[in-house]
Structure 1
Amino acid sequence: MEFKEQVITYKDKIVFIKLSMPNFNRTLKQYVEDEACFMFVNKGEVGVRSQDDYLKLNKDVGMLAKCLNYFFEPSNNKQVCDEGIESVGVFLYPSLVKDLFEFDLSTSNYNVPYNLKQVQIDRLLENYKESINILLDNPELADESIIKTKLKEFVLLVSKSSEAPSQLDFLAALFKPNEVAFKTTIQHNLYADLSLTELAALCHLSLSSFKRKFKEVFGESPKRYIAKKKVEKAATLLKANDLRVSDIAYEVGFDSMATFSRNFTNTYGVSPSEYRVS
């Protein structure tokens, strides 16, 4: 399966998109101001990593997302991963909300305690997804009136499942990202195999600003602190269970056995295997 993208736009903004791709590496969904989206999965499975969440999405579970940086990650289920991924996205913007509903989002103070949310795909949402698939496969059908109708239908369906007091409140909350503390972001993603550049992206910082902030919060460089914490967790796992050393290296977020062994030996003076039997 080759990479394929199909889009439908309304007032020069993408509102529906279908992406089909084979195996992929971790991919950043870049922050876009005043953009919220819903993601359906037609085929395969994908992980989503944000500041303080890690979600798994498949044909039975979709995702509602506010405007923030997050990563799409391949599934650790090899069979599913080999099938590739096909997803459908629905995008909303304040300017389109005003056009569709004549809502003034500033009149609502409603908020919700999440930036990403898993949503079970019930029969109504499944039928909605199939209708969007048809439009994406036959874009000549997607005139302005149909697009407006499908966007309104989406807001009605998802706002009801979110149990928001009203459609206005549901939409207002979508464009209010929750602040996540820097320390929380680091602790939540400490054992993922994220590079410093990727961690900086999750924190919405440049790499240089991230390093300065990290030193202020944790008192040492991110490279040294993160490696130390990963090795400490690995030492606990080596004593606590019978996982293979290579599995433990992966579990704590090292991208290679060589890097893991070098860091472990530097800290404990023996190799991981020697530590286990000592």
Structure 2
Amino acid sequence: MEFQEQVITYKDRIVFIKLSMPFFNRTLKSYVEEEACFMFVNKGEVGVRSSEDYLLLNRSTGMLAKCLNYFFEPSEDTEKCKDGIESIGIFLYPSLVKDLFEFDVSTSNHTVDFNVKQVQIDRLLENYKQSIDILLDNPELVDDSIIKNKLKEFVLLISKSQEAPSQLDFLAALFKPNEVDFRSTIHQNLYANLSLEELATLCHLSISSFKRKFKTVFGESPKKYISKKKVEKAAELLKANDLRVSDIAYDVGFDSLATFNRNFTSVYGKSPSEYRVS
């Protein structure tokens, strides 16, 4: 199965999209200024990794996201994804909100305590998703009035589900990303087998700025600090359970057993197997 994309645009901006793809590697959804989105999953299961959260999405759970960098990751349950992934996205922008509702989102100071949030798909949201799916499969049915009505319907449904004070407050909060503490971002993603470049992306920093800030915050280089923390976590697991050494290596974020063994030995002076026996 090849990657497929179907989109519906309004005033030259994508508002609805359906993506179908086979099994994939970690993929970046990059920051777009003043953009918010909602993601439904039609088929399969996918992980979403942001600076402070890891969400698992499937047919029963969707995602509400502000404008920030995050990664899509394949589910560890390959059986759920054997036929690929299919998702439907809805995009919102302040200019679009003003056009649809005559709301000026800058007039509301309402905030919410998340950047990405898992949302349970109830019957109303499920029916809404199916209606968008039909439009994406039949673009000849679509005109501007239908698009505007479906976007208004979405805002009504999702704002009610999130118990927002008003539609204006709900929309305003979507375009106010929460600032995430640098240290928290690193600790949240220590064992995810992210490259330094990917960690820098989650922090919205260039790799050079990331390395400088890391040294300031943690007092040593990111490579040395992260490797040490992974090895320390592995040592706890070796003492606490009967998992295979190879499983522990991957659980703490090493991409190969050889790399794990080398790093572990450099810290503890013995191999993981010797450490477990001792």
Tell me the TM-score range normalised by the shorter chain. over 0.9
Corresponding letter in the other structure for 2:154 = F
Q: Deviations over 1:100-151 (max 9, x none)?
A: 0000111110000000111111110000000000010011111000000000
Q: Aligned residue for 1:67?
A: 67
RMSD over aligned Cα atoms:
0.5
Distance (whole Å) between structure 1 residues aligned to residue 44 and residue 197 of structure 2: 28
Partner SS for 1:55: strand
| 2:272 paired with 1:272 | yes
What is the 5 A alignment of 1:90-105? 90-105=90-105
Unpaired segments of 5 or more residues in structure 2? none
State, as a whole percentage, how many aligned pairs show the same letter.
81
Secondary structure at 2:14 match in 1: strand
Counterpart check, 1:214 vs 2:202: no
Cross-structure match for 2:77: 77
Aligned-partner Cα distance in 2 for 1:184–1:267: 24
What is the rounded CA distance, in whole Å, between the counterparts of 1:142 and 1:266 in structure 2?
62
Looking at structure 2, the residues matched to 106 and 25 of structure 1 have their Cα atoms a distance apart, in angstroms, of: 38
Cα distance in structure 1, aligned partners of 2:202 and 2:31? 10
Equivalent residue runs for 1:6-45 within 5 Å: 6-45=6-45
Is 1:148 the equivalent of 2:148? yes
Query: 2: CA distance between counterparts of 1:104 and 1:46?
Result: 34
For residue 277 of structure 1, report the CA deviation from its aligned partner: 0.4
**By how many angstroms is 1:80 displaced?**
1.2
> If the length of structure 2 is used for normalisation, what is the TM-score?
0.99
Distance in 1, Cα, partners of 2:81 & 2:239 = 32
- Summarize deviations over 1:134-172 as a string: whole Å, max 9, x none: 010011111000000000000000000010000000000
Q: What residue number does 1:242 align with? A: 242
- Distance in structure 1 (CA, Å) of the matches to 2:194 and 2:81: 20
AA partner of residue 124 (structure 1): L
* Aligned residue in 2 for 1:183: 183
Could you list the runs of 5+ residues in structure 1 that have no partner in the other structure? none
Give the number of equivalent residue pairs: 278
**Equivalent runs, 1:91-240 vs 2, <5 Å:** 91-240=91-240
Normalized against structure 1, the TM-score is what?
Answer: 0.99
Structure 1 stretches of at least 4 aligned residues deviating more than 4 Å after TM superposition: none
